[in-house]
Structure 1
Amino acid sequence: MAVDIALIQKQIEDPQVFSYVELLYQAAEQLREEEGEEKGKEAKIINTLELYSFGTYREYKKKKQEYTIEGSRSFFKLVELSVISVVNDNIGRSITLKELLEEYEFEDAIKEMISEYQIEQLELPFVDTTTTDPILILELILIAIKYKGTIDVRIDEKTSSIEVIATNTLRDVYDDQSYQLKSLSLDDITNRSLSRAKTNLCKWLDKSFT
């Protein structure tokens, strides 16, 4: 059975879908049964599903040639998943917008969104598509994602920062017993690796009881 690329693309673009791991497992199993020229094309789709399951824009930027991102909605979903990852990893903390732009590389994501993916086609609430100011665009993107109920953050315009209050959406967790990474590395997804979490928990327990 061939990998259903149309279904995968539809799921990636769906604004209510944020979990792709089951689709990844299914597609990877189907790919193992494939032969011929189509296998190379479909392998790239598997990499893309892997990215949407566990990765962020930062990982995409490292190996763009290994992924297939079709259109503005798919690219924005990657940005949205990247925001969710930051929120999941920083609950209770404050982060400056400058830190988000530079350390988490959202500035490059925004530039790419403007130059290559026609942000105006997304019709995002609150997002002014006429501005090119990355801080303003990032702030408006955060408001748009918050408006959907995906994340809970408080934006402080005076300090140009966000306070991460809670997450309403969790990213997929990588389990090396169920799937072997093909494009990403464990170092890329440390905070989303089940095996790393178990190892860290064991170390913490050993330290606590010694």
Structure 2
Amino acid sequence: MAMPPIPPPGTPGSTQAAVVRIADIGSSGYTSLDEGSRLPAGVGLMATFSVQPIGHVRGGREVPEDDDWGGSEARIELDPKRFTKEALEGLDTFSHAEVVFVFDRVGDGEITYDARHPRGRKDWPKVGIFAQRGKNRPNRIGVSVCRIVRVEGLTVVVGGLDAIDGTPVIDIKPVMSGFAPRGDVTEPAWAKEIMAGYW
């Protein structure tokens, strides 16, 4: 069933909060927000909460393209009204960071709520939006692992970040080996093909 469109996070470069809708169906057969708020499953309890960008991507690419992101270098500039340089203290001791951001240029009419062919390629199988990493996601959230080039004050210079200039960033996390996938990583053939020239 199609979900109603989610309000866009704001214009490019805006600090307007992004709105995210979630529905949590617990294993107990109840829909819940917390232990004190329970309704029978199927009632459709919906929580709405806001996420404020911690900063924005500056530089790098200006146009979203599918491939050759490996050579891109950009800056993530934190909001100086909310953070001090201490927020990034120690990040430079890691080689990579996981950056969570918003695809804020994706319009309501471009969102996919069901299945599609990745990149519109009919020679690749039609798969659900949650079985691919396309930008046309219901909550417009992107996640990328990139190289940390250096940290300067409130700025993180990164390499290989597949987000364009002006993109709102909602979190930065260091990549730790302990959080790497446990066991073998398996994927279909089309997933290997789609990434062949991505970096």
**Do both proteins adopt the same fold according to a TM-score greater than 0.5, normalized to the shorter chain?**
no
* Structure number having the greater helix percentage: 1
TM-score by length of 2: 0.24
Select the structure that is richer in strand. Answer: 2
